[in-house]
A and B are shown apart, each in its own frame.
Chain A
Amino acid sequence: MFSRFVVPTIVLAASTFSLPSRAQNAPRTPFPAPDPGAVPVDQNREKHIDGWYKEVPAPPKDQKAAPAPRHDLSGIWEPAAGWRDGVQFMGAKEYPSDGKHILPFTPLGEKAFKANKPGFGTTEVPIALNNDPFDICDPIGFPRIELFNLRALQIVQTEKQVLIFYQNDRTFRSIWMDGRKFPPEDISEPRWYGYSIGKWEDDTTFVIQTVGLDERTWIDNVGRPHSSNLRVEERFHRVSHDILELTLTIIDPAMYIKPWIALDKFPLRLQPADFDLREMLCSPSEQAEFDKQVSRPAIADTKKK
C-alpha cells in the first residue's frame, strides 16, 4: 500500500483567456481546464454505448446513402458527429458566448441578458452565485433542450402528431399536425415546452412553429433571454435515410432586432432500432447536495471579501 500524501504539482494561470465583458473580476479559466499531464490514458478509450450498456457499432464509411423516406422522421437519432456535438455548453452552436458572436439584442434584450448569471460564457459566474433555472433543476424547457445537451432523441409519428422524446430531462414534446391553430394569442398558460404545430413543407422537410413559452426558461446555456412572445421555428430536413438536419431559428422582436439562427443544419444520425435512450435527469436533492458539498465551499472565502 502506498502512502497517502499530497503531491505538489502545477499552477495554471489562465488570465489570458479573460474577456472584457465578463461580469466578475476573477480570472477566467477555460472549460475544460487545461491538463498538462503527459499520462497516457489509452486504457480508457471512449465507446459509443446506449443506455442498456450495449456498444453501438460505427456506421459503415463507404456505404452509399439510402434515400430519405417520404414524410417520415421516425426513429432514434443522435448528433451525427457524436454526443459532444450537441452539448453546446458555451451557448447556441451558431452563437457561442465567446465575445465574437454578437447577438442582435434590443436594449431590453441586452438588459435581460446581463441580468442572467450563467455558469458559462462571457458573463459566467461561480455556480454558487448563478441564477440559472436549470441549475436548481427547473425543467430545461424549449428551445434550450435543443440548444444545450442535445443528446439522443426519439421521434414517433402518429396520424395527428409528431412526438419527440428527449434523453435530456427525459421529457417529450407534442407537435400537432392536424391543422389546428395556436391557442388564442393571449396564451394564459405558458408552458416550459410551449405549444407546437407542424407541417410537411415537402417530402422530407417538416417545419415546426412553437409559441407560448414560459419566460422563466433561458434560450440556451449562457442565459440568452426571451419574452413571452418568443416564436421558435424548427426545420427538420431528412437529407437521407440516416441523416436528419435541424435548423432552429429564434424570433423574438422584444429581445432581438432580427431573427437569428441558433442551429444551422445540425446533423443527427439514425441509430439502430434497439438503441436504448439513457436517463439523464437533474435531481433537485442531488443538486442541492452538490451545492452544499462543493460549489459553496469553493467560493466560501471569496464571499467574505
Chain B
Amino acid sequence: MKNSLGVSSLVMIGLLAVSAPLFAHHGNASYGNAKQLTVKGTVTEWVWLNPHTLLKMDVKDDEGKVVNWVVEWSAPSSLINFGINKQTFKPGDEVTVVMITPDNGAPVGRIQRVMLANGKWLRG
C-alpha cells in the first residue's frame, strides 16, 4: 500500500500513551482514523496564529518530489507553557515531525511532537 507521499509500509501498534489535552477548538474528527506519520522536512514558515499555530515545511518523498506540508499545533497560549514560542522555528530548520494525518492523504496534520536538528524533542 502506498499513499500519496510514497509511504511504503504501515505498522499497527497497540501501545497507547495519551498526552494531556491542550487548547483546541476542535477534536480529531477531521483526521478520521488519525494515521500517525513521522515526517522529516525543512521549515519554510512558522506561523504564530490564534487559535492554531501552523508549521509549514518542505518534505521530499521517496521519488524526490518536494511537497509543502502545513501542520497545525496548539494555540500560542498553550505552547508557551512548554517553552515553545514565536522564535522556536526558522525557515531552513531541519525538523522531524510526528503528527496525525487525515484519511484523504492531504499534506496536512496535527502535530504531536517535533524533534529539532539537535535531537531535542518538543511536545506542546
A residues adjacent to B (C-beta < 8 A): 1-15, 24, 26-41, 43-44, 46-49, 53, 83-84, 87, 89, 119-121, 124-128, 130, 132, 134-135, 149, 151, 167, 278-283, 286-287, 289-290, 293-295, 297-302
Contacts and interface: CB of A to CB of B under 8 A. Distances in A.
Task: Please provide the 8 A-B residue pairs with the shortest distance between their CB atoms, ordered closest to farther.
Answer: A119-B26, A301-B104, A127-B26, A29-B28, A126-B30, A298-B102, A29-B34, A286-B49
A252 B42 CA distance: 53
A278 B80 contact: yes
Given A33-B110, A37-B98, A26 B21 contact: no
A44 B104 contact: no
9 contacts: A11-B33, A12-B36, A29-B27, A36-B16, A38-B17, A89-B21, A280-B23, A297-B108, A302-B104
A254 B119 CA distance: 57
Nearest to B70: A293
Contacts of A134: 25
Contacts of A6: 5-7, 37-40, 59, 61-62
A44 B120 CA distance: 8
Interface residues of B, number: 77
Interface string B1-27: 000011111111111111111111111
Contacts of A12: 13, 33-36, 100
Given A9-B38, A24-B29, A40-B121, A294 B77 contact: no
Given A84-B20, A299-B30, 18 more contacts: A4-B40, A6-B7, A6-B59, A9-B11, A26-B103, A27-B33, A33-B34, A36-B16, A44-B83, A135-B26, A286-B51, A286-B52, A287-B52, A289-B47, A294-B54, A300-B106, A301-B103, A302-B104
Interface string B57-68: 011111000000
B25 A36 contact: no
B27 A31 contact: yes
Contact of A298 (B50, B61, B75, B106): B106
Contacts of B15: 36, 38
B90 interface: no
A43 B123 CA distance: 9
A43 B119 CA distance: 10
A28 B11 contact: no
A283 B106 CA distance: 25
A10 B42 contact: no
A38 B32 CA distance: 23
